[in-house]
Amino acid sequence: MKSVVKLVAALGLCAAASIPALADPGTKVALVPGGPHPYFAAWEQAGADAMKDFGLGAGDYRVPQKWELAQQSQLLESLLTQGYNAFLIFPGDAVGTNAVVQEITENGGQAIATAGCLKDPTPALFCMGTDTGNSAYLGTKELIKAMGGKGRIAHFTGFLVDPNTQLRIDAVNKAAAETNGAVEVVQVIADIDAPQPAEEKINAYLAANAANVDGIVTTAWVPAVTAANALRKIGDKRIKMVGIDHDEVVLQAIKDGFVNGTMLQNPYGQGYIGSYVLDKLRTGCTLKDDAPWKSNALTAKFVDSGTVFVDASQVDTYVDAMRGITKDILANFEKDYMNCQ
């Protein structure tokens, strides 16, 4: 949590004087992840800052108690009845969440799939998040470079219900395949983006196989933290590692040489920019058909919220990279993606 607070405070995006707000106090934004997870903590401050900067009626972070589609759907339905009309939603299921988003739109609300995409056809306006496949691919390429272009990789990743997980698995395998057999992914351990399963499975795997692994790539927050701690305990820097996100444990492990680098994401920017866009769309703007949409395996309307690799030479200034990404996207979003009077 400290790293999230540090990131939000340092980004310094709260005074969006250069962005004209249409100030509709009737825009009530709810930022709703699929369940409890440290990645989404930055959404709380993002919503609060957007409410202040853009004159919104609400910018509230609401979290289901568990990672269960039914709980998220019930929470979203409850928020709709409470008058929320603009939703940033991490899909509890890439297909199943479409049903409650349809309910939202039929009752006058609108939604953006955020940090993870809904599968087309979807009533969501578009998807904004990390290009997770590209991030995992680039991270694995950095790991292969650190390994000297050859060796055996273990991949520790997130929940199988997360629509990003399979994209990440495919991307890591793609990067390894491009070495023509010099690099092999020898193990993929998924469904461990929570402390207990991550501790149990990663530590057990390394206890039995550390001598036979040359590199570790982690593509979810909790596995990154657990693997970084595990390598510190082993004390042998022979195994190379590239993680994900900006947890203090991972950042310190980079400084101390136990982790080679991490792929940063932009959760604060997702919540802040998404709230701004929802307000603009409620107050007269429309999305351009010919906007520079990207596409992925789930949707044809995707906006990349940014990713960057950070190693020991940049770890103390990583916030600068995140600040730049968010400001650039925000400054150009209306011009690139919307028609506004």
- Residues 118-176: tens digit of each pLDDT: 999 999 999 999 999 999 999 999 999 999 999 999 999 999 988 899 999 999 999 99
Q: Which fold has domain 2-130+266-306+322-339?
A: Rossmann fold (3.40.50)
Same fold, 2-130+266-306+322-339 and 132-264: yes
For residue 23, give both structure tokens. 């100030």
- Stretches where the chain sits below pLDDT 70 are 1-25
pLDDT at residue 318 in the model: 83
pLDDT at residue 130 in the model: 94
pLDDT at residue 13 in the model: 55
Cβ atoms within 10 Å, residue 290: 6
Q: Which fold has domain 132-264?
A: Rossmann fold (3.40.50)
Residue 213's φ and ψ, nearest 5 degrees, are -120, 135
pLDDT at residue 297 in the model: 85
pLDDT at residue 8 in the model: 47
Sorted by where each begins, the domain ranges of the chain are: 2-130+266-306+322-339, 132-264
pLDDT at residue 1 in the model: 46
Residue 160's φ and ψ, nearest 5 degrees, are -70, -20
Cβ atoms within 10 Å, residue 265: 26
Task: Supply the pTM of this predicted model.
Answer: 0.83
Q: Which residues pair with 127 in a beta bridge?
A: 113, 302
